Structure 1
Amino acid sequence: MAKYLDVHPDNPQPRLINQVVDLLHADGLIAYPTDSCYALGCRIGNKDGIDRIREIRGLGDEHHFTLVCRDFAQFGQFVHVNKAVFRLVKAATPGGYTFILPATKEVPRRLLHPRKKTVGVRIPDHVVTQALLAELGEPLLSSTLLLPDETEPLTQGWEIKERLDHAVDAVIDSGECGATPTTVVDFSQGEPEILRHGTGPADLFE
């Protein structure tokens, strides 16, 4: 059964954040809120967690996983960003965007798009997520919590607990979450290409 953690949206309790981070270090898989919608998350090196995310979501090999970073210092460790792209990304960050960029050698091969050698990265504007990332000290490997054959992500922690009780190790609830995934912008070819319209206004990149 999954742990159910009721975390304050503005002042996350350190005790509860530490519990989640301990679980992540023990190769657990969590469902957690972001500034767009709920996501599934685990440590980058958690191969079992990655397989569990694929199974829950019914994902194939072409799926872009996302590295959810605390700040630009982490961001720059895992993707290559030139000055022009950096200026565009910085103008929209933190916020509801995921950027597809060429990965550095810090990213395990199994997380890369098999042909493009790219990975998704984002910096969220969410108090609870930022508290988790600060305590964890590394990015979270994430994917939108969108179940197979469903068109919208789940928005309520209690419902996620009911439906995924035996599939995840913890559910973080900090109040109702949004139902719109991030806007996905692909910079892998240099010029921005909108792959998905979502939370973040796309006109910045059109």
Structure 2
Amino acid sequence: MAKFFRIFEENPNPREITKVVNILKEGGLIIYPTDTVYGLGCDITNVKALERIARIKGIKLEKANFSFVCHDLSNLSDYVKQIDTGTFKILKRALPGPYTFVLPGSRTLPNPFKKKKTVGIRIPKNAIALEIVRQLGNPIVSTSIRDEDEVLEYTTDPELILEKWGDKVDCVIDGGYGDNEPSTIIDLSGDEPMVLREGKGSLEIF
């Protein structure tokens, strides 16, 4: 059964965050809060953990469109080709926030993603998620935990998430009730920004 940590977003307990980071470093899977829906994530550098997430989602790892959750924009060049000033201004204006930006992938992508032309970058406005990634020292690869119940779509109660996912993952974080609206996805890999999914993030800032 997964470990269950209650962490407060207003003031995330560093010891609890360290416990979560250690689980990630050991190849564990976590369910954690973001500024939108709860996410399922693992360390981007751990291939076995990445394969576990792909299996849970029922897809091949090389075909998976997972997001890279980063702490800030400082290490973007490790995962994304050089971007122009206009693109960088959009990212700076929108992040941290409830957006996923699709950007052209760099040649230095981790092995499982080497063939990907684009990657989705996320910097959620959630202190728990950001602190986990900051302490880990590299992004976590993430996907949302959709619910089979189409009325619910996304489970928002961490205790219900634990009930359903407790035997599939290594840790569930209770960071309060989650949202039930996913991030807005914007493709910035072409000549013009293109909205792929309208979610929580407002389009007015563009």
Give TM-score scaled by structure 1 length: 0.91
Alpha-carbon distance between aligned partners in 2 of 1:106 and 1:92, rounded to the nearest angstrom: 25
- Map of 2:196 onto structure 1: 195
CA contact (8 A) 2:156 2:180 kept: yes
Identity %: 39
SS in 1 for 2:204: helix
CA contact (8 A) 2:54 2:64 kept: no
Matches within 5 A, 1:1-206: 1-59=1-59, 62-80=63-81, 81-111=83-113, 117-147=117-147, 150=150, 152-205=153-206
How well do the aligned residues superpose, as a CA RMSD in angstroms? 1.8
Alpha-carbon distance between aligned partners in 2 of 1:188 and 1:148, rounded to the nearest angstrom: 31
Alpha-carbon distance between aligned partners in 2 of 1:130 and 1:191, rounded to the nearest angstrom: 29
1:5-37 deviations in Å (ceiling 9; x for gaps): 011121111111010001100010000000011
Q: Which runs of 5+ in 1 are unaligned?
A: none
Alpha-carbon distance between aligned partners in 1 of 2:147 and 2:175, rounded to the nearest angstrom: 21
CA contact (8 A) 2:5 2:174 kept: yes
1:142-185 deviations in Å (ceiling 9; x for gaps): 11111456462221111111001110000001110111111000
Bigger drift between 150-159 and 77-86 goes to 150-159
Alpha-carbon distance between aligned partners in 2 of 1:153 and 1:74, rounded to the nearest angstrom: 30
Alpha-carbon distance between aligned partners in 2 of 1:5 and 1:176, rounded to the nearest angstrom: 14
Alpha-carbon distance between aligned partners in 1 of 2:145 and 2:108, rounded to the nearest angstrom: 25
CA contact (8 A) 2:69 2:122 kept: yes
CA contact (8 A) 2:187 2:195 kept: yes
Aligned amino acid, residue 145 of structure 1: I
CA contact (8 A) 1:79 1:102 kept: yes
Alpha-carbon distance between aligned partners in 1 of 2:195 and 2:53, rounded to the nearest angstrom: 24
Q: Which runs of 5+ in 2 are unaligned?
A: none
Distance 1:148 1:46, change over 3 A: farther
Aligned amino acid, residue 98 of structure 2: G
SS in 2 for 1:121: strand
CA contact (8 A) 1:57 1:146 kept: no
Shift of 1:132: 0.8
SS in 2 for 1:142: strand
Shift of 1:45: 2.0
Give TM-score scaled by structure 2 length: 0.91
